[in-house]
Structures are given as C-alpha cells and as structure tokens.
C-alpha cells in the first residue's frame, strides 16, 4: 500500500468510526445473532435441523446436540453404516436432495446417475486444470466452478429442475476437479511428480477421492469408510451456516448456480467457517511440539491456560475446535467423528496422538467452563484435521473435503428457496453518520 493510500485510510477510520454501543441502541442483530447468542430467524427449511439448545419461557436451555437430515437423526445413519457395511454419502445425498430415504433400487439408480456425471467435459483437464495451476486451492475451485458455466448450454436457466440437474453435475464433478487441481498444484509449485488417475465409475465418491490422490491408487476399507463418514457429516448443517446462507442470498437474486457455488466456496474459505480445521491442526501441532505426546494432564492444562490468556499459539485467546454457535453440551458430528478417528488411529499406529487430542478436548472444555461459566463442546473441526492427516491428505485439501460434502446441502437449499420463498433477501442497515453540507473544492 502506498503512503498516500495508507494516510487517507487511517484518516477515514478515525472520521467514520461506528461506536459499538450503537448496536445495542438501535437493537441491531449484529452478526444476525440475538443477545443470547442464538441465530436470528431468517428462513424456513425442511432439509436439516441443528439442535443444541431449547427455549423455555424465553430462556435458552443447553441440551445434548442432535443433527437431523430431513427429520432423520444422523446418528441413525451411522448405525445403518455399521450394520450394513456400506458407503453412505450417496444415500445421504439422495435424502437431502429429495426428502425421503431411497429404497435399494432407487439408491442404485441414483449412484449410477452420479457416476455417469463424474467425467469432466472434453479437453477440460488439459485446457483448464493442467494449463492454469494455482497455489490456493479454494480460489482455484472457485475459478473452475465458474468455468463450468461456459460448458453449460443453458447456464442461466434457474428453474428448480434445471438447478437440480446442474447441481448433480457439480456434486459429481467437484471431487475430480479438486483431486486433479491438487496434483497439478504440487507438481508445478512443489516439484512433485505429476500423475492423473481417471475417475472410476464403479467407486463411491470417497473411494474415488483416495484413488485419484494416491500414486498407487490403493486404500484400505477403513480409510474409505472414514472419509465417507466425513462427507456425510459435512453434507448439511441448516440454512443459517455462512456458506449455505451465502448461496441462498445469491440465489435469491436470480443468478446462476455456478455463481452461487463460487460465493459459497469463498465463504467456506474463511478461517471462521470452513478454514477452522486448519486452525485446529496448527494449534495441536504447536501443543505437541511444546509438551509432547506423553504430556501429563497438568502440562496440557497449562498450555490451555496459556492459549486462553493469549500467551500461546496465535494470541487470539481462542481454543480452536472447542465451542460452537449452536451446539452447547455436545456436537453429534464430533462424537461420531471421534469414534471414526480412533478406529483409523489404531490402523495407522497413531493411537497415542488420538488419545492426546481426546484428553486435550476434555481439559479445554473443563477450563472454559470454569472460567466463563458456560457449556462448550468440541466441534467437528477438532478431529477432522487429524483424520485427514492420517488419510495422508495435504492441508491444502482439508477445507476442500468440506466443500465436497457440503455441495449437496448447497444444491438442496438453493432449490428449496426457489420453490418456497422466491423473494430477494434484502435486510436493512441503519445510517448512523452525520449529515454534512457540501464544501466547494477551494474551501476544503
């Protein structure tokens, strides 16, 4: 930034400051949050429900967390997964998109439908991905999603039926774009070997991700199952999460689904949303470097205190991976992923590391409760980074796995809003500056 621009910006901030007290004075729902921390009600949905508290006589009461997809508990899907030993993400996609559980024939037909859409357009790989490597993978994905607009014969058809058709293409193609763009990135910028494995139409999305990213294309049953579970747990989280809301806000203007997805991906890139798993990974690496895997509880307690006192990590005072905007006593996604993480840790001989995470989680929750008197829980980001690391995924891919899972929720909410709301989202903002007289140039 030039000295001049820096000067006028500093002057601008001193002249145009908005005092924090004005938010209360004008009853502004800052961050679209109520005073008790709950979200402002801005829409209706039948897609998913996030339960972390209840209201009794106008008072917020903390409860055990639950996540429902189309009225069905996500935990019930996990029981079905354990019993049937099958991949679930495609089944969850069907449920979220169409609102009911598919029978066996419907599920098989849907899986074939998705698989038929895996392939990228002719010459897309050479022209778009190999020809334009980029260091930031989230920005690259935004770019490629927008580029798919040019391959669509009717890109601006925003009817619910067309949105579903284009959305299915995005759900099916994004995993391939992610894997190929990553292999291209590490070749051009990190001098790694370049290999491109074709997508396998006999594989699930989770299996394809692993085989496309690995030079020998091999993976274990546990690895594929755990990654599938990550996608299931990220598939949707209500209409109020930032990226889904961004998608719906943009959709309400009548723009195309490719633009909506690009906006949602940009939202998910932010460290306060999808990028949180990277913050957890960095935090825990520093913790392990400081006290080791065999740290005592007292050593971990001291590190947690130092984090909260802004003396350790990034001096933000935040314990990343602990706390959630809705969940209070527990995050059901974290509880499920913790069990999956332990199974993978046993297979990878990293149980000691998992157990350190688990102890850190419990001690951090207790310390925050003691200091602030509030109930907090570990969220899904706490274990997802460790899971991805054990799967051999680069940090560049952590948030992209979130995108792959959440893409189905974005499509569903985009369609639901078109069908049942239809209004452009346009909240108000109050002007709190002074009214001034215009001053002629010679008098300034």
pLDDT in tens, 1-59: 999 999 999 999 999 999 999 999 999 999 998 888 888 999 999 999 999 999 888 88
Domain at 276-390, CATH from 1.10.230.10, 1.10.287.3510, 3.30.565.10, 2.40.30.30: 1.10.230.10
Q: Say which residues have a Cβ less than 8 Å from residue 255's Cβ, sequence separation at least 6.
A: 158
Instruction: Provide CATH 1.10.580.10 ranges for the chain.
Output: 66-270+394-420
The alpha helices in 85-217, defined as continuous H runs, are 89-98, 104-116, 124, 137-148, 160-190, 205-213
Handedness of CA 299, 305, 306, 312 (dihedral sign): positive
How confident is residue 84, by pLDDT bands cut at 50, 70 and 90? low
From 81, 234, 273, 324, the catalytic residue? 324
Residue 65 pLDDT: 96
What are the tens digits of pLDDT across the range 176-193? 999 999 999 999 999 999
The active-site residue, picked from 256, 381, 389, 396, is 381
Radius of gyration of the chain (CA): 23
d(CA 173, CA 165): 12
- Within the chain, which residue ranges are assigned CATH 1.10.230.10? 276-390
- Please, are residues 405 and 174 in contact by the beta-carbon 8 Å criterion? no
3-state secondary structure of 7: helix
pLDDT tier, 80 (very low <50, low <70, confident <90, very high otherwise) = confident
pLDDT over 70 percentage in the chain: 99
Span 220-235, mean pLDDT? 96
Q: Catalytic residue at 324?
A: yes
Calculate the alpha carbon distances from 149 to 246, 404, 410 in Å.
19, 18, 17
**CATH number corresponding to 66-270+394-420:** 1.10.580.10
The helix (run of H) or strand (run of E) holding residue 60 is strand 59-69
> What is the C-alpha separation between 23 and 7, in angstroms, rounded?
28
Cα separation, 434 vs 317, whole angstroms: 36
Q: Kindly tell me the burial class for residue 404, based on how many C-beta atoms sit within 10 Å of its own C-beta (0-12, 13-18, 19 or more).
A: buried
Virtual CA dihedral for 275, 279, 284, 289, nearest 10 degrees?
130
3-state secondary structure of 51: strand
381 is catalytic: yes
pTM comes to 0.94
Least confident of 151-155, 292-296, 340-344, 420-424: 420-424
pLDDT, residue 384, reads 96
Residue 59 pLDDT: 86
What phi, psi does 239 have (nearest 5°)? Answer: -85, -5
pLDDT at 225 over 70: yes
Cα–Cα dist 86/70, whole Å: 20
Average pLDDT of the residues in 244-273: 96
Residue 405 — very low, low, confident or very high, per pLDDT cuts 50/70/90?
A: very high
Geometric angle at alpha carbon 282, from 194 and 179, rounded to 5°: 25
User: Which tokens is 126 given?
Assistant: 């050479």
51: left (phi over 0), alpha (psi -120 to 50) or beta: beta
What pLDDT does 35 receive?
86
Mean pLDDT is lowest, of 237-241, 283-287, 360-364, for 237-241
* Element holding 48 (H helix, E strand): strand 48-56
Query: CB 376: neighbour CB atoms within 10 A?
Result: 21
374-384 pLDDT, tens per residue?
999 999 999 99
């Amino acid at each position: 930034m030039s000295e001049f621009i820096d000067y006028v910006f500093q002057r601008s901030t001193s002249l145009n400051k908005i005092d924090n007290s004005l938010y209360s004075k004008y009853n502004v729902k800052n961050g679209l949050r109520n005073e008790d921390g709950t979200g402002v009600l801005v829409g209706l949905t039948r897609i998913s429900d996030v339960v972390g508290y209840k209201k009794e006589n106008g008072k917020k009461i903390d409860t055990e967390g639950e996540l429902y997809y189309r009225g069905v508990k996500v935990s019930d899907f996990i029981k079905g997964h354990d019993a049937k030993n099958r991949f679930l993400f495609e089944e969850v996609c069907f449920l979220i998109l169409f609102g009911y559980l598919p029978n066996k024939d419907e599920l098989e037909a849907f899986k074939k439908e998705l698989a038929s859409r895996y392939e990228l357009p002719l010459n897309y790989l050479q022209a778009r991905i190999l020809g334009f490597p980029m260091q930031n993978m989230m920005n690259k994905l935004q770019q490629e999603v927008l580029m798919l607009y040019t391959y669509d014969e009717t890109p601006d058809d925003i009817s619910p039926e067309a949105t579903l058709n284009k959305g299915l293409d995005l759900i099916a193609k994004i995993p391939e774009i992610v894997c190929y763009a990553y292999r291209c990135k590490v070749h051009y910028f990190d001098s790694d070997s370049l290999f491109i494995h074709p997508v396998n139409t006999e594989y699930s999305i989770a299996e394809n991700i692993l085989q496309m990213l690995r030079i020998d294309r091999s993976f274990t049953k546990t690895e594929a199952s755990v990654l599938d579970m990550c996608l299931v747990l990220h598939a949707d989280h209500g209409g109020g999460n930032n990226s889904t809301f961004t998608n719906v806000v943009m959709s309400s203007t009548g723009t195309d689904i490719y633009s909506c997805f690009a906006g949602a991906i940009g939202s998910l890139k932010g460290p306060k949303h999808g990028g949180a798993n990277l913050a957890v990974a960095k935090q825990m690496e520093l913790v392990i470097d400081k006290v080791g895997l065999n740290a005592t509880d007292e050593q971990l307690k001291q590190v947690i205190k130092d984090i909260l006192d802004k003396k350790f990590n990034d001096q933000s005072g935040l314990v990343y991976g602990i706390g959630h905007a809705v969940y209070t006593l527990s995050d059901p996604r974290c509880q499920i992923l913790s069990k999956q993480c332990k199974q993978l840790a046993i297979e990878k001989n990293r149980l000691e590391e998992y157990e350190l995470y688990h102890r850190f989680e419990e001690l951090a929750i207790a310390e925050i409760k003691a200091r602030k008197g509030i109930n907090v829980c570990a969220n899904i980001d706490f274990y997802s980074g460790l899971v991805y690391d054990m799967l051999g995924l680069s940090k560049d891919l952590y948030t992209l796995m979130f995108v792959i899972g959440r893409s189905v929720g974005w499509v569903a909410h985009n369609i639901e809003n078109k069908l049942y709301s239809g209004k452009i989202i346009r909240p108000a903002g109050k002007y709190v500056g002074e009214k001034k007289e215009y001053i002629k140039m010679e008098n300034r």
